Structure 1
Amino acid sequence: MPDEGCSERPRKIVHVDMDAFYTSVEQRGNPELRGLPVAVGSPAARGVVAAASYEARKSGVHSAMPSVTAQRKCPDLIFVRPRFDVYKSVSLQIRAIFAEYTPLIEPLSLDEAYLDVTENLKGMEIATEIASEIRAKIKQVTGLNASAGISYNKFLAKMASDLNKPNGQAVITPKNGPAFVEQLPVKKFHGVGPATAEKTHRLGIETGADLKEQTLDFLTQHFGKSGSYFYGIARGIDNRQVKPDRVRKSVGAEDTFAEDIHSYEPAREGLQPLIEKVWSYCEANEIGAKTATLKVKYADFSQITRSKTFPSALPAIGDLEDMVGLLLAPLFPTRKGIRLLGVSLSSLERRAAIAEPQLRLAL
């Protein structure tokens, strides 16, 4: 099987994604919640759903939804406060299972990771069998269900893991990869957010096939550095490696809102899922961050950022929530509506590197 247009042996990439991870952990720990619609988050007026169980999703509840909207859609919805220390503990159990098969593990958050099993510690030839074994062992050790996608690159492995959720897996072969991408709506591409989806729509690009028709120059002109990435994945090509020791310079998340925001509370509400997303990434990768940055783009497309740097890494998600709130508050009242908000963390370093001097100080 040729690898993405070259003669080298194709890679075998597995993307493992836990099913409704936060809510599944809560339902596992409390049998009274099993089979019921559960949301991790706050039921307060400005609260946001961080995660929703499959029972809640049947009523249209999903992550990043305002709590009041979720309760309106599902009057029987049960809210549970997030417990990131517990989720991290379970995530480490799952990571230990991954490590039995390969050292090439790249976590994306507490509940998902890429694994390169091309050369694996078990000497297994078939990646789908590796994925099945891993999922079975996760179930045995944690009692939780996982889904998996198997393919020859990261993009397609990620897309495949959504095909048979929950508690399933799917494979996209090198032969089928390009055709799979061609029929896929661009708005469903991993990494394509609302703003990019809106831009591709304006350009008349709705599917992977539409994307494939564009030249590299055209895509670079309209999407900058992402142009070459789009050019490749439109053809089923993604040469990114699974990087287990990657420490990024920054990690961020942003969201473009359907309607402009004019007051503090809905803005703070919209930031909560972004805060949880970046914090989850840092927790999963054992990374500490000293600098928090708030990004605001107004309706007229003008943009500002506000940052705060700490002498040491932020110790808990609550500290990040407080700091983002403090950065946001002075921006109101505002005469211009806000169309986009973002949160990023920088000055990143491995937590192992920060723990040692803290231990010496304690002694």
Structure 2
Amino acid sequence: MTQRDPETESARGTSRRSLLKAAGTVGAAGVLGLAGCASRGGNTDDGSTDAGGSTDGGGTETGDGSGSGGGSESATPELGDSMTIFHAGSLAPPFDAAEPQFEEEYGVDVTREAKGSVASTQKITQQGRVADVLGTSDFRLIRNRILPEYGDWYTVFTTNSMSIQYREDSPGADEISKDNWWEILTRDGVTIGHSDPAVDPGGYRAVMSQQLGAIEFRGSRLYDDATYQKLRENSTVPTGTETKLEGQLQSGALDYAIYYQSISSTSGLPYIDLQDQVDLSQATSEYASHYAKAEVETGSGTFTGAPIAYGMTVPSVAENPGRGAQWVEYFATEPGRQILRDQGLVPVDPIVVPGSSEDAVPDRVMNVASAKEALGPLEL
């Protein structure tokens, strides 16, 4: 059974399960394969780990051993017959699509709550709530705010990029292109929507994309500081989660929305991809250094630009960590990876865990993961 958060809408689908082959590279589809983020000193948010207690055994699988293969597993006291997942709004479509097959295969009832990733993290660190899986659209939220008090490990499992979506009758829709979007969006009367940067990485990344267009890259920039200021003047924050922006766009409340390419590409509305220098998709040292020049201050911390990389973990407060490990494993295997691709995301192949926490990773996850100290220029 799915418990939908009012901040998001998603669609169901089905899939089959099999083990994926470890390829080591990530495909494109609007996003260059993730090589990693820059060092923690350059590409990180400065929010300190939330205060609170902690428990032992974060993410360590219990009850069902270390196998990584598929096959139906009946509920046992060690595994339990239900599980709870807190996750980013942009993960609602793939998680919703995976849920029916996962429930059928493992005989478990899945309850999900979709919210902005910052808010999802705060459910554990500030509200004292319990989840068996935490999935965020910015892995650094887990690295910096969950570990070590509320978890022992995490994985980077998929990537995304930023885009601009609009209606066919949006002002300037017949003129907008990848080469002039800032000219259209700065016109008088145009309304640009993005989610709340204080609770959702999609929100602070939308602001970062606007900032980066006014920052020099390879000797030039897309527009000047005055244009950036006009973009901000035309921008509004009508929601905490990016998945609600599409409905407001369709209703006419917004003319344009800045959010993830995964959302744009699976919608029936027109959209444009952004330049590599502003879409936060390129995981090379050169681009990572450029992205790190963007910074957004919010009430929940200051966030610094970096290539987009999603994270997932089984928190130490999990009631059914074995079930959580099964869910993480699912998205490291071909059925889960295909769902990610179908929903416009670009899976990391194989999923990556920090080498420093390799011993804490459940065996069934480690069997389909690669342990590294960094993913390209990103520090794990």
Shorter-chain TM-score category? under 0.3
**More strand per residue:** 1
TM-score, normalization by structure 1? 0.25
Q: Which structure is richer in relative contact order (CA contacts within 8 A, separation 6 or more)?
A: 2
**More helix per residue:** 1
